Each structure stands twice: as C-alpha cells, then as structure tokens.
Structure 1
Amino acid sequence: MTKGDENKIDVFQSRCLRQILRAKWSDRITNSKVLETARMETISGIIRKRRWKYIGHILRKEADSACITALTWAPEGNRRQERPKTTWRRMVEKERMTTGWRSWQHARTIALNRDEWRTSVEALCATWREVDRCECPSGYSGRHCEKNIGDQHQCGPCPTGWTCKFATDVVCVKAPCVAFTCMPPVFTDPCGGCPVGKTCKTFYPPCAPPPPGCADNSLLPTLRRRRSIPCPQHNCDPVHVCL
C-alpha cells in the first residue's frame, strides 16, 4: 500500500466521520480533532498495526518455515534501472528500517518476546509522515517504548522557585519520548480575575480571634473606607480583594 493509497483511505474516513458528526467546513475542525471526538484511529494506522502483528506471528515460526523464507528471501541478480514498484515486501522492509530494526533477525529476536513485541507494535508510528504520532504505554518510554520510566534520570537541582515536572513527547523522534525538565513557577491570580482598572491586593489579618461583633460573613473596612473585606477568622489565611 503506497502513501497515495493511505491518503485515499484516510480522506474517505475523515469525510464519513464529518458527515456523521455534522461538522461543516466553515467550523474549521481539523482531522485530528474529528478523530479525537469520534475516539477512533486512522484506518491506515490500524492496517499498519495489524500488519505488524501478523508479521510477529510469522517471525515466531520455525527458522525453516516457508513463511520465514518468503519474508526474508533475497533474489539474486540486479533489477532493471527504473523506479522500483511498491510491493508489500518493499513496504514492510521500509517500515522495518524506519522503526530501527536493522535486519529481520533483529526483528525476530524481539518478536520471540510477545510482551516486548506487543509493546513495540502499539507504539509503532511512521516517522516519515509528520502527521503521525505515537504514545508509549503506561510505564514505558523511548522511541520503541523499550525503556522503563523508573530508569530515566530526573532533572538536577532546579533554580529557586522552579520545580521538576514530568513531560511526555508524543512525537516519534530519536530522543526518548520521556524527559524531565525544570519548569518555571506558575503565578496565578488569587482573586480569580479582577475587573478592568482594578488589581488584586492581599491583606494578612492578625492571627487572633475576631474582634467583638465580627460574625461569619461579616465585613471589615480596609485601607479605603469605601471598600471592605471578609471578617478574618481564626485560620489567619490571607485575604485577596480587587481594589
């Protein structure tokens, strides 16, 4: 199956899903958003995963099996000087090289371990197409999802106010899919958003019992006589007011 065939299948799938979801072209909804809403994968991606699951069954057969011979046999001689046709075998060999398996023997070694092969197939994505993405199963990372997250090195001491956050790169690249990076501190508005022309002010009430007559939900005057803040209670928490 060539790239053109994959594009035709994916375009047909996207058109059908848009009709089912009643998504108009004026809504400017991307194909990835349509797939996410329908909770589906691209048909080309499903075909690719099933193809490699089938290849895994072949690679686990005996070495003298006719299926192994048909998959790994190399014809003698030279081909004609023209563009080679896209056959099923050339297609899977190209995917194998892109995935990182140097030879069929290397792929067969991984296929003998069913759990490792299943994990590799689930993480399989065509890196020659920028639209494809891969996500490693929970607890694994790396280009082929062969690394345990517990084996990854965390980031070193972070600067003051910075924290070490766990980030996952879902794009298939040569670097590991999982990395630890120091993230800057996040400053939030404690007032939850003030009107235009007003700023959030913080008042620190004294850690003492409320004054006489100060009951729940009552107000106390602030620095500005026209403004008031909730009456401080015994918790001594700061009070945030838009002034």
Structure 2
Amino acid sequence: MRLAGKVALVTGAGQGMGRAIARLFAQEGAAVAAIDLNLAAAQETIAGIPAATGCSAHAVNVTDSASVREAFDALVAQHGRIDIVVANAGTGAVDSLAGTSDESWARVIGVNLTGAFHVCREAARTMTAAGVRGSIIQVSSTAALNGDGPAHYCASKAGVMGLTRSAARELAPAGIRVNTIVPGPTNTPMMQGIPDEWAQAIVKAVPLGRMGEPDEVARLALFLAGDDSSFITGQNLAVNGGLAFI
C-alpha cells in the first residue's frame, strides 16, 4: 500500500496505460479520479474497486481548461487535496508531413501538449494552494527522441518533455516534483490502430524484441508517484526496451 492516504488524478484513464496506472494506484491505496473524455470508459476502469476507496470517474476534455479545472475542483471538494497527477491523455494520427491538415495538427497538439499543459498548470495551482509536496507525472513518447512518427505527434511529445523541465525547476521550491515517462511501443489501443507493417517494423527495431505492456509503464508511474523517488525531478525516464536512449 505504497500510496495509502494519497489522492491521485489520472487523465486518459479509460484505456491503455492510463487505465493500468489508475488501477495500480488504487491497488496501492490511493483514492483515484479516473479522467477520460469517454465517461463510460473511465467508469469501466474503476469498476470493481470498492466505493470506500474514494475512487471516482469523470468525463473531462483536457483541451478545455475549464473542464480540467472543474475536475480538479471536484476532487479537492471531495478529498481536500490532490497528491499525485498523471497527465497521460493522448492521441495520434497517421499523417505525412505534407499531408497534415491544419485540423489534424491542432487536434494532436491540442490533446497531447496543450492538454498536458492544462493539467500540469492546474496541478501546480492546486498543490501549491494546499501546501502539498506532490508528484506530477507526464507521458511523452520515444517518438520525441528519434522522430519516428508523424510530425505533429513527435512535436507534441517533445513539447511535453520541455514542459516537464520548466515546471520541475519552477515548482521544486514548493517540494513538487515533475517527471516524464517516455514509453516506447506499448500494447495499447492507440498502438493497435496503426498499420500492421508499421507495428512490425517498430517491434523489430526494439532490442528486447517486443512491445511493452501497459502494466510495465504503470509500475514506473507508481515509483514516480511515491516516496521511493523523493529526490527525482525534471527527469525523462524511458520504458522502451532499449529502442532509444535519453
């Protein structure tokens, strides 16, 4: 029960890595707010978790700052504080650079980078107001390191890493840590949606010879959320089977 007594908010918790993180945090004793654009998916994530844990599901659009703030306010009203925030919500698209429309660029940047900013900003406001020495965890991608992906996706995930570095320096005096998980190819619905030939080529390039699993990412999130990582901030930690080095 490494997170007993903690309150956590996880975006993109309706599937994949976000679902694995939310469920592991709950197993470790945290009261988890599962945040997702799809409320039914968020509710499915916390299904089976006893109500006494204080876990809840919320429909939130991370591209809408007001929607994000409402979720934070609701959680503070319920629990009085937020200790851990995971900005995991993400999206992608299979576009060439020349074929990327303004709308596709805006959507991917809006969810992956602007959405992460909205969540990180609200976490900073909420934690500093309550005097919480919390942990903010963001999720990037190996694509930010090696450029192996569509331009908007790579750019958005590289931006998340820059956001982490800046936020970590600014929030350190308040005792708030900010770190980024950098997954490689992981067995999630997003990965399952890319063309088979792309997936096969990506897996072939991974030195460990396979995709990662959402639970493997969740275990790193648990480490960053808890006291075992108390002197770690501003870092980008990879879970990618050796595909790229930081």
Q: Smaller-chain TM-score range?
A: under 0.3
Q: Which has the higher contact order (CA 8 A, sep 6+)?
A: 2
> Which structure carries more helix by proportion?
2
Report the TM-score, using the length of structure 1 for normalisation.
0.21
